[in-house]
Amino acid sequence: MPSKEQSVREAQKEYFLRKSEERIQSLKEKGVDDVAISKDPQVKRYKAKIKQINAALQRIDQLRRQTETLQQRKEQKRAEKEAARAAEIAGEIKKKEKKKAEEEPPPAKGKKKAPAAGKAPGQAKAPAKKK
């Protein structure tokens, strides 16, 4: 399982950078041109490893920032709840919703509709006949 610690990943990156530079220097000493050096399998492997490590470092940093953000939000919510509770205990907050509910009666449910035109109020619809 790969390491998720930033210090370990940075050490790995330094290791592969050093190996890559050593390989490039040894190839230059042998007289190999730059095109052949860029096509060398070991150099490619080292560069691929460095690229993977950079991606892992970015992910580690992103997770660290996300964790910090979530902790700040959590602390902020906790502080808001404590402030609201302290205010409620001190009697500063009045519950307006309950007072409004007591003053205004709820609307009547099931209001009867006005009778249809041309019919008496007691004869709205005749029951359906069964055959």
Residue 95 binned pLDDT confidence (cut-offs 50, 70, 90):
low
Residue 44 binned pLDDT confidence (cut-offs 50, 70, 90):
very high
pLDDT for 90: 75
Say whether pLDDT at 82 is over 60. yes
Token readout for 69 is: 């953000």
Measured CA to CA, the distance from residue 127 to residue 120 in angstroms comes to 16
pLDDT for 89: 80
Average pLDDT over residues 61-79: 96
3-state class of 57 per DSSP? helix
Measured CA to CA, the distance from residue 111 to residue 94 in angstroms comes to 34
Residue 106 binned pLDDT confidence (cut-offs 50, 70, 90):
low
- Asked if residues 15 and 66 have their Cβ atoms less than 8 Å apart, the reply is no
Token readout for 84 is: 């609201």
pTM above 0.85, yes or no: no
Task: For residue 119, give the DSSP letter.
Answer: S
Say whether pLDDT at 96 is over 60. no
